[in-house]
Amino acid sequence: MLNIVHQSAQLPATPEALYAMYLDPLQHAAITGSPLVRIAPTPGAEFWAFDGRIHGLILAVTPGRQIVQSWRSFEWPADDLDATLVLTFRADPAGARLDMALVNVPEALRGKLQTNWPMRYWEPWKAYLARPR
């Protein structure tokens, strides 16, 4: 049975803007507080953040709408397969709805990942968008 972490967040920006922010290394770093992020909107591009504590590859992109990545954290057991992260962006009355599914999560890490995504992504992203520009 696959372990899946699924969450949604409403953010006050367009789907296209959120998609671009996630795939821009400088904005991704500013949103998450990660000192350095490697990411690009190109299938096959490496992804890593939080000092390499999470890493993977961009598997597919649909501009403005969806990002698919292989994904694993430093806590992953070495013999476990990578997870697949799917981020889907769509218009919402508040701006955009971002749906996240992290598929094939090690059972021992499921609860931690469920807790960490809001703390590491959703809440910081909301704070980043609320800053005056």
37-85 per-position pLDDT tens digit: 999 999 999 999 999 999 999 999 999 999 999 999 999 999 999 999 9
**Quick one: pLDDT at residue 133?**
72
Q: How far is CA 118 from CA 5, 62, 98, 126, in A?
A: 12, 24, 12, 10
User: pTM for the complete prediction?
Assistant: 0.95
Sequence spans of domains, the chain? 4-130
Res 129: pLDDT: 96
Q: What does each C-alpha distance from 86 to 89, 93, 94, 121 come to in angstroms?
A: 10, 22, 21, 14
Pick the CATH number of 4-130 from 1.20.1250.20, 3.30.530.20, 3.30.1360.120, 3.40.50.360: 3.30.530.20
Q: Has residue 131 got a pLDDT over 80?
A: yes
pLDDT tier for residue 5 given thresholds of 50, 70 and 90: very high
58 close to 42: Cβ distance less than 8 angstroms: yes
Strands laid side by side in the 66-73 sheet? 4-11, 95-103, 83-92, 66-73, 54-62, 46-49
Tell me the three state secondary structure of residue 97: strand
